[in-house]
């Protein structure tokens, strides 16, 4: 549905994104992940035909973003980083204006607006002036604006930025509902959000794609080492030494007394050895389990590794 090839954009001498290529299928929910200034917003601006790329091509449903921008704009809904709200307008009028801008026929405008007001739970705010609404409501009006014409593709740039935790949960729920019937591209630097909503992640760092994969695949791929947690009943100082002496163990750290984290090489499979060791020395094993790394770790790792490459 969306094909991006060798996309680059530079602002003067500064290259915001370099040779991005990826594809997004119909019905997918894809997360753009990257630190601030990685090029997420630039990419989204290009996808929504607001800004032309310096080079490369983007095709959405077979339409070229540069040549056939008007066609594409009919089928996308875009929520920029700052929601494009007229602070002096009433919510209902604003949404009706957005619907008319996106070619919703006059006779369907009312039902379209009422539908998004319902979906985004804006009912009690619909006759209020946008400038007086709380940030959470404004963000919801922003999302409502993007979907008022029922577009096939929703592009949401940091939809939960600046919201309080309850509002974040609400918006997340809304996006999950929308995901059932729309193709959604979502950017964020908040990781739990991506893990909860997206099936596939595109990680951008320094304007380049660091990884494109499903979350599971990313987790396995990036688990270059394995980590075990060991809990014992009887603590003594020799444990640390004996663990470190084991083959394939990279590092051992003691967090609390009798609680150790063991970093070992990938596929080391040393649980048996540790258990044997514990039996022989009567440490009294309480817990021994592998930990999978969270996306946070992956994210940190990715961006850190990217910057280490000369």
Partner 1 sequence: MKNIWIIAKKDLGSFFSSPVFYSLTSVFLILNGFIFFNILNFFSLQSFQAQQMRGGGMGLNLNEMVIEPSFHNMAVILLLIIPLVTMRSFAEEKKSKTFALLLSSPIHLIEIIVGKFLACMIVIGLMILLSSYSTGYLMLVGNPEMGPVITGYLGILLMTGCYVSMGLFASSLTDNQIIAAVISFGLALFMWIIGWGAQASGSGLGQLLEYLSLITHLEHFLKGLISSSDLVYYLSFILFGLFLTYRVLESSRWR
Nearer Cβ to partner 1, position 50 or 245? 50
Nearest distance in Å: CB 70, partner 1: 5
Nearer Cβ to partner 1, position 44 or 201? 44
Residue choice 71, 114, 152, 273 for contact with partner 1 (CB under 8 A): 71
Nearer Cβ to partner 1, position 66 or 220? 66
The answer to whether 182 and 154 are in contact (CB under 8 A) is: yes
Nearest distance in Å: CB 298, partner 1: 31
Distance between CA atoms of 140 and 143, rounded to whole angstroms? 5
Nearest distance in Å: CB 168, partner 1: 21
Nearer Cβ to partner 1, position 153 or 270? 153
Distance between CA atoms of 43 and 29, rounded to whole angstroms? 16
Q: Under rule CB under 8 A, which residues in 251-290 are in contact with partner 1?
A: none
- As beta bridge partners, residue 24 has 2
Q: What are the Cα distances from residue 246, in Å, to 180, 249, 250, 255?
A: 50, 6, 9, 19
Nearest distance in Å: CB 153, partner 1: 12
Number of residues that bind partner 1 (CB under 8 A): 29
Residue choice 27, 35, 56, 80 for contact with partner 1 (CB under 8 A): 80
Q: Under rule CB under 8 A, which residues in 126-165 are in contact with partner 1?
A: 145
Task: Supply the DSSP string of 110-173, one letter for each residue.
Answer: HHHHHHHHHHTT-GGGTTSBGGGS-HHHHHHHHHHHHHTT--SEEEEESTTTT--HHHHHHHHH
Nearer Cβ to partner 1, position 73 or 140? 73
Nearest distance in Å: CB 173, partner 1: 25
Nearest distance in Å: CB 77, partner 1: 8
Task: Give the DSSP letter of residue 68.
Answer: S
Q: How far from chain centre, in Å, is Cα 116?
A: 24
Binding-residue pattern over the window 15 to 54 for partner 1, x denoting contact by CB under 8 A? ---------------------------------xxxxx--
Nearest distance in Å: CB 83, partner 1: 8
- The answer to the question of residue 82 lying near partner 1 (CB under 8 A) is yes
With b for 16 or more beta-carbon neighbours within 10 A and e for fewer, the 118-148 pattern comes to ebbebeebbeeebeebeebbbbbbbbbbbbb
**Closest to 20 (Cα-Cα) out of 28, 74, 45, 83:** 45
Distance between CA atoms of 48 and 40, rounded to whole angstroms? 12
Q: Which secondary structure element, helix H or strand E, spans residue 56, and what is its range?
A: strand 55-60
Task: Give the DSSP letter of residue 90.
Answer: B
Q: Under rule CB under 8 A, which residues in 84-113 are in contact with partner 1?
A: 84-89, 93, 97-98, 100-103
The tokens describing 42, both together, are: 């630039």
**Closest to 220 (Cα-Cα) out of 304, 295, 288:** 295
Nearer Cβ to partner 1, position 76 or 218? 76
Q: Which parts of this chain interact with partner 1 (CB under 8 A)?
A: 11, 48-52, 70-71, 73-74, 76, 78, 80, 82-89, 93, 97-98, 100-103, 145
């Amino acid at each position: 549905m969306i094909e991006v090839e060798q996309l680059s954009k530079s602002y003067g001498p500064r290259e915001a994104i370099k040779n991005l290529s990826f594809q997004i299928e119909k019905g997918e929910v894809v997360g753009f992940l990257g630190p601030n200034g990685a090029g997420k917003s630039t990419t989204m601006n290009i996808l929504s035909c607001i800004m032309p790329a310096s080079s490369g091509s983007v095709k959405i449903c077979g339409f070229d973003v540069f040549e056939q921008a008007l066609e594409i704009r009919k089928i996308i809904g875009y929520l920029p980083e700052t929601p494009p709200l007229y602070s002096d307008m009433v919510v209902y009028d604003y949404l009706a204006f957005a619907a008319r801008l996106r070619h919703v026929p006059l006779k369907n405008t009312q039902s379209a607006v009422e539908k998004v007001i319902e979906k985004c739970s804006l009912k009690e705010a619909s006759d209020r002036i946008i400038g007086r609404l709380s940030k959470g409501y404004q963000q919801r009006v922003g999302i409502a604006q993007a979907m008022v014409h029922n577009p096939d593709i929703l592009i949401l740039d940091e939809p939960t930025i600046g919201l309080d935790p309850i509002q974040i949960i609400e918006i997340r729920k809304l996006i999950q509902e929308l995901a059932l019937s729309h193709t959604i591209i979502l950017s964020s630097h908040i990781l739990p959000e991506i893990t909860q909503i997206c099936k596939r992640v595109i990680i951008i760092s320094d304007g380049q794609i660091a990884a494109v994969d499903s979350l599971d695949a990313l987790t396995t791929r990036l688990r270059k080492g394995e980590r075990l947690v060991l809990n014992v009943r009887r603590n003594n100082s020799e444990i640390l030494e004996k663990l470190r002496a084991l083959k394939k163990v990279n590092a051992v750290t003691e967090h609390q007394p009798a609680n150790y984290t063991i970093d070992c090489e990938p596929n080391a499979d040393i649980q048996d050895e540790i258990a044997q060791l514990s039996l022989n020395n009567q440490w009294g094993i309480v817990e021994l389990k592998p930990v999978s790394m969270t996306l946070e770790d992956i994210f940190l790792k990715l961006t850190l590794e990217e910057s280490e490459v000369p």
